[in-house]
Amino acid sequence: MKKIKILIPIYNDWQSVLKLLENIDLQIINLNAEVSVLIINDASIESRPEIDLNLNNLKSVQVINMKKNKGHARCNAAGLKYIIDKENFDYVIPMDGDGEDRPEELKLLIDKTDEYPDKVITANRIKRSEGFFFKFCYFVHKYLTFIFTGKSIKFGNYTCLPRSTVSQMIEEPATWSSFSGSLSKISKDQKSISSIRGSRYFGPSKMNFFNLLLHSLSIITVFKITVLFRSIIFLAVYIFLILQHISFVTVIPVILVIIMIFSVFTLSGRENISELNNSLDNISNIENLK
């Protein structure tokens, strides 16, 4: 029987994650797998509600409380480090804790491992639930990433990772900064399911324009050498084409590409294998909810 760990980073959003646990428990009925949940509490300042969870199908639920807030990507990285060091497992499924990664798709991810037991399975977005402006910004992010890195990344954290991939992820410095960027760098041959991004269970989405920009640049940073090479080619060709028609408007793309290169190499300092290796030192305590 497969041993599966679901990894959920959380900051304050307890109401959503408790509902998510109940929905996960319902979705894994009759699944030929032993499923446990590991919640990484990113030093939340809001207390967890004291409620009785009716969880009949999950094997266990643990909450790892962190001392200092490190952010979503680093919670994922620390969770992977903890699982590979401390747990017996076959697969890890990282999920957002707010309901946007739909538990209804868990069975699709897990069933896909029957066909491809050693492959990474990604949940590729085919439909999103946000408004027009965010969808447009996300479209721009996706195609700029492809243009400057050569990578078409259609997934976020919601994936199913075999043990061998988790072992590689915790050896990759980029995992500390960008989950999807690091996974794209490590895993060249992925399989996928179609995924619909769900709506948050409670409260507004935490993904705003600034966070999307940081998310996009963090992914691009993983491939910084490719980005630099492609940017130099773009600038050389573009400047040659506009040489006879230089104006404030025509130099805007040049300025934007230079800013992007500067931002990418600045953000590359976030990729830190030493901090990843020592991430478990940030654990305050571990609670068992089941």
Triad 101, 103, 104: Cα angle to 5°: 115
In three-state secondary structure terms, 71 is: coil
Q: Are residues 259 and 199 in the same domain?
A: no
Domain-located, residue 242:
yes
- The CATH number that applies at residue 101 is 3.90.550.10
> Residue 278: phi, psi to the nearest 5?
-100, 10
Quick one: 93 and 170 in the same domain? yes
pLDDT digit string (tens) for 206-257?
A: 666 667 677 788 888 899 999 999 999 999 998 988 888 888 888 888 999 9
Residue-number span of the structural domain to which 247 is assigned = 225-263
The pTM assigned to this predicted structure is 0.88
- As for how many domains the chain has, the answer is 2
**Same structural domain for residues 170 and 27?**
yes
In a shared domain, residues 68 and 177 = yes
Beta strand extents in the chain (DSSP E only): 2-10, 33-41, 60-66, 91-94, 120-127, 159-162, 190-196, 283-288
Q: What is the mean pLDDT of the chain?
A: 89
- At 161, which helix (H) or strand (E)? strand 159-162
pLDDT, one tens digit for every residue, the chain (290 residues): 899 999 999 999 999 999 999 999 999 998 889 999 999 999 999 888 887 788 889 999 999 999 999 999 999 999 999 999 999 999 999 999 988 899 999 999 999 999 999 999 999 987 655 566 666 766 777 778 888 888 888 888 999 999 999 999 999 999 999 999 999 999 888 999 998 888 888 877 666 666 767 778 888 889 999 999 999 999 999 898 888 888 888 888 899 999 989 988 888 888 899 999 999 999 999 999 88
